[in-house]
Structure 1
Amino acid sequence: MYSRKDQRNLTRTEKKRLVDAILELKRSGRYDEFVTMHRQYYVTDAEGRPRAAHMSPSFFPWHRRYLLEFEEALQAVDPTVSIPYWDWTRDNTPAASLWAEDFLGGNGRSGDRQVMTGPFAYRQGNWRVSGGATDGRFLTRNFGRPSAPVDLPTAADVDRAMGDPVYDAAPWNSLSTTGFRNRIEGWGISGTRRVANHNQVHLWIGGSMAGAGSPDDPVFWLHHAYMDLLWARWQSAHPRSGYQPGSRLPDDDPQRDHVFAGDAPLPPWDETPSQLLDHTGVYEYV
């Protein structure tokens, strides 16, 4: 078993080894395969297709399996590497350690929002995006979205979601008003609530993180490691509240063929949400 650390506690050597492993995956073409996978499975409510990754109960288990596959690829390069997590309720400014020159680099410049600092800056010659929010070849960020300002979520925002004792609820999509899953995934519902938590962070970073190609920005992995940690904490706080729906929805439920029950294999893997509920035999959060 290995550990996933808070990014603020990484040593300089640990940061460098992680960055070097990510850059090696990029050079080999493997990194862009992960971006393509995320774009493939970013299916919205309006598309009328099965939704494994977003706007559905399987948001958490799908991304847990996705992060594990990415972590396995990193560890094939460097066995000492794991995905750190970014607690954006604490490290919530552009001066936070993850945006440093020796780690993820900082905000995009005014105008085209191109990231000019750090190892993933296009001008360094190592990072060309495979297609995200724009047609540009470079990584972009737009912290706080000045044209329509957005803040990072607070600890109170997370606590409200963590307090919901139900995992998910009908209609099992972006319009679910109750349930931990959509409170954390954070889809805004007109007249009910604004964009929150997970989605709010994507909006705050902006640029490459603002669309289906969001893994083009390596901060994606740190953000989703924190999502995974919050899911684990919620499970611990609500031990009697299991994954929902546990079995396939009734014939008359319009979401029957669009969401994945606990016993339904998640594409592109053969594992079910129920098989992905417990991470403790593989990694721990420290």
Structure 2
Amino acid sequence: MNLLLVVAAVLAYTVSAQQCSTPRVRSEWSQLTQEQKGLYVRAIAALAAKPASNQYANPDIMGWHDFVITHAREAYWAHGNAQFYPYHRAMMWQFEQAMIATGIWPSNMGVPYFDWPAMSQNWWTSDLFTEQYLGNMNSNDPDHCVLTGPFAKGKYQVAFDVDNRRAITSGDTTCLRRNAVQAAGDDATAIANSMNAGSFAQFTSSTSGSYYDTTNYHSTGHFIFGGEGGDMSNASVSPNDPIFWLHHGYVDKYWWRWQNQCEQFLYDYSGTLMSANDPNGNGIDAKASADQYTASWPFKVQQLLNTQGGDPLCYTYSKSAGDIPLAPLTCPPVVKPSVAPTTAPPATATGGAAATSASRQGSQLDDKWLYTALNLLVKQKPLGSWGNAPKTGATAAGGIQAADAGDVVVFGRRDLNETESFNGTLEVASATVQADETITGTIAATIQATATVMATTSAAVSEPIKKEQNAYIETINPDNSTTISYTLSNNTIEIPAGFTVYSVMPISATAINETSGKPKRFFPEIPKLEYVQHAEAPVNVEVGSHPCHLAYPILLPESYIESMGMNYNKYFNAHVRSKMQIDAFNADNCTTMFSPSSMMNFNSL
């Protein structure tokens, strides 16, 4: 990264935060005029034509591919944990600034969102999927390439695939893959039901032994827009598809709408972080904190909780068709977090990109952000991707692929209270660390102990081998499977043979597939719910078959849910509950489609 870019970004960041007196309004796609829709598509095309800047602090010089690449690098760590919502809010904010920096998208307008749950039964009829805007939903191309519109094959360059996960047969980098599924999505009625949460932890479905981000709508949107083989269905490359930004605009509005029910929700943030979700070290604690920086982005979580806080955020959302009335909610008392003051040198930005960026994301400089920015100058030892291709030889037992695209940092094996990390690659099969690594003290001891246990798993054992940690016991069974038993709860996690445990967290364990080298999350066993049919509800309503009956949202494939690092049984249970809620709606409220008066009754279920 160019030192001048870092200096410019630092100068921009030192400017005092602006008051958010006139927030930009992010409007729903259908609320835009034809001219505004055209401007949005033109701005996207212009941003896509910009070269990657290889930095994420200054959106004025970021290109489209910067966003795709950083999302790919953080995909496994920015999903399924407390940072999911703030991470993507930061990403959307930087994207909005980058769109304005093209000179095409108006500086007084927020980027639009797509309220597809408001048209869950016929979302594919939106003009988004026309040649004039985002192009066809699917095609007969063997790689599912978009063939019409400004993002058609041959017109639009997708980002470099840092995870090597696209695997298109032609290898054409102008192929934007989209294979949308014309099926019902999660309806606004069910989504409104999930707004009746009394805390951020409850809102994100975080309970003991469970997992974040199990509300169906986010994953459903990715899958129905992307389909099998589509870029939108692949967390590593989903921002390649322009529909990503309209979907995640809605995702952010979903959080924003919940927050704006109670003042306390503007300060509420808690939960669990996964190992390595912050490459600079702030994310290694199991407990999430609003004082931590988000992965990739130069913002603390506390700066991202209030969209009208002015430091840096200053936007709001329009009311759209899916904003049906919510059930009354008893607000918790307001408890504002105490934040340590920061000091900053005098602002010196006077013009150019730095001044432009400063006016948008002004805040005060502290040592951590400066460290983050300067860290971009340092050539980190590359980790690369969790590869797809089976490995042989020394890396066959779970070794991590060498990188050829970008710099990232890998964190080592850790238990619940470990606070150290290392940079580099651990060769599991040979139980050695690469020669150019320097690891000392407790880290060396941790690596050695881990390597010993991992090596043990490669040979059959006659008796279980137990390794006691601070908050769990790791048992290697005679069949080479592993059992994680938590000492602070009754939960256990079973990991089959052929996987090497990489990290253990309060709500999941991550293990590396010894054949593919790819990570997989394992969870405590959750029994599947049984669907109980409503006596008065119609059965198996087809999409569009009735003017007011709702069809069930699509049940996503188990393989897709697992590829997203989610707990399938918890997802399945959420789907079953959604079906039963829709049954109740169809039985009791079948008068007029999306009637606010009828939705109110459903919302109280």
For the criterion TM > 0.5, the same-fold answer is: yes
**C-alpha deviations, 1:240-270, integer Å up to 9, x for none?**
3443328999xxxxx9635642111113233
- Opposite residue 130 of structure 2, the aligned amino acid is A
- Post-superposition offset of 1:223: 0.6
Query: Equivalences for 1:102-117 in 2 at 5 Å?
Result: 102-110=132-140, 111-117=142-148
Higher relative contact order (CA 8 A, sep 6+): 1
User: Which of the pair is proportionally richer in helix?
Assistant: 1
Deviations 1:213-244 (A, max 9, x none): 10000111111111111111101224334433
Amino acid at match of 1:14: Q
Question: 2:208 & 2:179 partners in 1: Cα distance?
Answer: 25
Whether the aligned pair in 1 keeps the contact of 2:137 and 2:178 (CA below 8 Å) is: yes
Q: Indicate which of 280, 285, 293 corresponds to 1:257.
A: 285
* Structure-2 change in CA distance of 1:151 and 1:176 (3 Å): farther
Q: Is the 8 A contact 1:56 1:173 kept in 2?
A: no
Once the 2 structures are TM-superposed, how far is the Cα of residue 69 of structure 1 from its aligned partner? 0.7
The correspondence for 1:205, drawn from 218, 225, 228, is 225
Match status 1:230 vs 2:254: yes
Is contact 1:106-1:117 (8 Å) kept? yes
Provide the residue aligned with 2:317 in structure 1.
285
1: distance between equivalents of 2:207 and 2:233? 19
3-state SS, counterpart of residue 240 of structure 1 = helix
Letter in 2 for 1:122: K
| Structure 2 CA distance for partners of 1:42 and 1:247, relative to 1, 3 Å | closer
Query: Structure 1 residues 263 and 173, CA, compared in 2 at 3 Å: closer, same or farther?
Result: farther
Q: Which amino acid aligns with 1:101?
A: E
Could you tell me how far 1:109 is from its partner in structure 2?
0.8
Q: Does 1:153 align with 2:186?
A: yes
Q: 1:175 deviation in Å? A: 6.4
Are the counterparts in 1 of residues 139 and 146 from structure 2 also a CA contact under 8 Å? yes
**Among candidates 40, 56, 70, match of residue 18 of structure 1:** 40
CA contact (8 A) 2:201 2:271 kept: no
What is the TM-score normalised by the length of structure 2? Answer: 0.39
1:16 deviates by: 1.5
Q: Structure 1 pair 19/171, CA: closer, same or farther in 2 (3 Å)? A: closer
Q: Which secondary structure does the structure 1 equivalent of 2:316 belong to? A: strand
Shift of 1:102: 1.4
Q: CA deviation at 1:41?
A: 0.8
**Structure with bigger gyration radius:** 2
Of all paired residues, the percent bearing the same amino acid is: 29
- 1 CA distance for matches of 2:180 and 2:147? 14
Give the superposition deviation at 1:100. 2.2
Task: Report matched runs for 1:58-207 at 5 Å.
Answer: 58-78=83-103, 79-80=105-106, 82-92=110-120, 93-110=123-140, 111-123=142-154, 125-131=155-161, 133-135=166-168, 136=171, 137=173, 138-144=175-181, 151-168=184-201, 176=210, 182-183=213-214, 186=215, 196-206=216-226, 207=230
Letter in 2 for 1:116: L
**Paired amino acid for 1:219:** I
Give distance in 2, aligned partners of 1:108 and 1:174.
Answer: 40
Measure, in 1, the Cα distance between the counterparts of 2:271 and 2:197: 18
* Aligned residue identity for 1:76: A
Change (3 A) 1:270 1:77: closer
SS at the partner of 1:284? Answer: strand
Which 5+ residue runs of structure 1 have no aligned equivalent?
A: 44-50, 187-195, 250-254
- The one-character-per-residue Cα deviations of 1:15-74 (angstroms, maximum 9, x if unpaired) are 12111111111111211111001001112xxxxxxx3x2111111111111111111111
1:129 positional shift: 4.7
Distance 2:254 2:225 in 1: 20
> Normalized against structure 1, the TM-score is what?
0.79
C-alpha distance in 1, partners of 2:205/2:257?
24
Q: For residue 122 of structure 1, give the secondary structure of its aligned residue in structure 2.
A: coil
Q: CA deviation at 1:133?
A: 3.6
For residue 101 of structure 1, report the CA deviation from its aligned partner: 1.8
The total of aligned residue pairs comes to 254
Deviation at 1:274, TM superposition (A): 1.5
Match of 1:220 in 2: 244
- Quickly say closer, same or farther: Cα 1:283–1:108, change in 2 above 3 A: same
| Conservation of the 8 A alpha-carbon contact between 1:56 and 1:259 | no
- Give the conservation status (yes or no) of the 8 Å contact 2:222–2:232: yes
Q: Which has the higher strand share?
A: 2
The aligned counterpart of 2:518 is: none
State the partner residue of 2:472: none
8 Å CA contact 1:61–1:276 kept in 2: the answer is yes
3-state SS of the aligned residue for 1:271? Answer: coil
